[in-house]
Amino acid sequence: MAQKFNEMPAYGKLEQLAKSPYDLTAKEALTPERLERYRAEACGWRLLYGTERITDEVMAALEQLAAQSQALSWMARMQGGEVINRIEGFESEEREVLHTAMRDLFDNPRSEEPAKKAAAQARTEHEKLRKFLTQIGDRFTDIVQIGIGGSDLGPRAFYLALQAYAQEGRRAHFISNVDPDDATRVLRSIDPKRTLVVVVSKSGTTLETLTNETLARRYFEAHGVDPKDHFLAVTGEKSPMDDPKRYLASFYMWDYVGGRYSVTSMVGAVMLAFVLGHEEVLELLRGAHEMDRVACRPQLRGNLPLLGALLGIWNRNFLGYPTVAVLPYSQALERFPAHLQQCNMESNGKHIDRHGQPVTWATGPIVWGEPGTNGQHSFYQLIHQGTDIIPIELIGLCASQYEQDLEVQGTSSQEKLLANLLAQSVAFATGKSDRNPNKQFEGNRPNQLLMADRLTPHALGALMAYYEHKIAFQGFIWGINSFDQEGVQLGKVLAKQFTDQMIAQRTGAKSAPWPVGEALLNQLKL
């Protein structure tokens, strides 16, 4: 059995070092030399981490932790297609984890059989997609994506992030919530005659998604439009949704790609290729693929996701901070924190290790965030002067997407945006003394800056993969399985009990007595 996280030699060393972390508020604590020393780069993204509470000693111990946990070997096993989604000794999903194969379509492909096979399957789907897009020509202007969780958050965040690259007149819309008002609001805003609907469910049985599909089909029919000429399925091969009688086309996804890692599969690609064009989607995939390769680099400084993972573990397990705020200074990334929230919290919100033993250390943090500068006028008050410390991940882009800008008071909007980004990084780190206690800033809010030139499809692909692998590395180091989600099951079972009870109440059928369930249902009476 592998060594436990808190039994590795580096763990004890880091615990010692955490007793006196680097003081960013000290005079001359933040210098150009420090900024240069703690700077790494890959795929066009620069990570500036001199504003974290780290020293060379901390970094060396973190690197040992990575080695002792065999993080790189786990990454290779993952990308090669070993069955790593499992809990040893207990019933579990027993699957490969091959989202990286979905973009292994470029240089330096993996040579392991499972990875090669999955990449070939991905290539086949992209061929189908390319032909399909040619066939439909200009018949459609809009696309509605119906899905939930990974079939919604990633695709939605990416659509918003890349809207600036949309083909003239093409738009996407999203229906996810089982709340019927979600579907109604979206359906009322589109013209069914000119609209494609892509329904996404791996199993073909996701209740929210099937219910919303039914609402959408009904709406199309009511407007004299035959759904089978407008609806697409993204689903598992041979799932109940893989049915040419009901869909204009089907694109496949496989159980070796988890929902929260699926945006570079057909789950995101169909909608994005319709809106942006297929070439732009390939650029997105290329950026992700390049970062996939970076995640395999042996040197810590060159392996950006591993470096990010270790900095996160320093803040989480040794400095003891339970949350992380992701603050992109880019309105296009407005829903990127929601995507990361799923990817991170569903992956690493775990309480047992890979052997089924309860963990005795903190695992995945609470991830949240909103774009800057908006957040500055909202919750930054608490980050600067609250009673809890929140590690911060700032994301910035040097240039805007549309390049529609003008100077007001001597600087452009983009310059103001960047000035604020840098200002916050410094303010969080150094704080400020003042005789008025209400104007006192304690500083030592650990933060890091992730910068690229511009938010292109390529840069977004690399950013996404950076976070995916950062999360995977943290899971490897903590010794947990980041790829299942058993924690969602209990709610499903109980929801079924409640709907059964609702049906029983309506039909007068007998049901097992359930006093608490009935008491709660009584609260719903208007």
Residues with a catalytic annotation lie at 346, 377, 492
Among residues 53 and 350, whose Cβ is nearest to its own copies? Answer: 350
What string of H, E and C letters represents the secondary structure of 144-206?
A: EEECCHHHCHHHHHHHHHHHHHCCCCCEEEEECCCCHHHHHHHHHCCCHHHEEEEEEECCCCC
Whole-number Cα distances in Å, 223 to 192, 391, 510: 7, 51, 40
Q: Beta partners for 233?
A: 199, 250
- Token pair listed for 322: 């339970």
The least CB distance from residue 257 to its own copies, in Å, is 15
d(CA 232, CA 228): 8
Number of H helices and E strands in the chain, helices first, is 17, 13
Q: Which of 313, 475, 325, 311 has its CA nearest to residue 395?
A: 325
The length of the chain, given as a count of residues: 526
DSSP 137: T
Instruction: Give ∠ CA 274-277-283 in degrees, rounded to 5.
Output: 125
d(CA 401, CA 504): 55
Tell which phi-psi region holds residue 204, choosing left (phi > 0), alpha (psi between -120 and 50) or beta: left
Among residues 7 and 442, whose Cβ is nearest to its own copies? Answer: 442
d(CA 102, CA 173): 24
Among residues 285 and 325, whose Cβ is nearest to its own copies? Answer: 325
Handedness of CA 364, 370, 373, 379 (dihedral sign): negative
| Beta carbons of 182 and 176 less than 8 angstroms apart | yes
Q: Which of 390, 394, 391, 389 has its CA nearest to residue 371?
A: 394
Among residues 431 and 446, whose Cβ is nearest to its own copies? Answer: 431
The least CB distance from residue 242 to its own copies, in Å, is 20
The least CB distance from residue 365 to its own copies, in Å, is 8
d(CA 370, CA 378): 9
- Token pair listed for 90: 């207990």
Among residues 139 and 492, whose Cβ is nearest to its own copies? Answer: 492
Among residues 64 and 440, whose Cβ is nearest to its own copies? Answer: 440
The least CB distance from residue 185 to its own copies, in Å, is 7
Among residues 121 and 341, whose Cβ is nearest to its own copies? Answer: 341
The least CB distance from residue 202 to its own copies, in Å, is 12
The least CB distance from residue 159 to its own copies, in Å, is 12
Among residues 111 and 506, whose Cβ is nearest to its own copies? Answer: 506
The least CB distance from residue 175 to its own copies, in Å, is 9
The least CB distance from residue 130 to its own copies, in Å, is 28
Helix (H, G, I), strand (E, B) or coil at 408: strand
The gap from C-alpha 38 to its chain's centroid, in whole angstroms, comes to: 25
d(CA 192, CA 186): 11
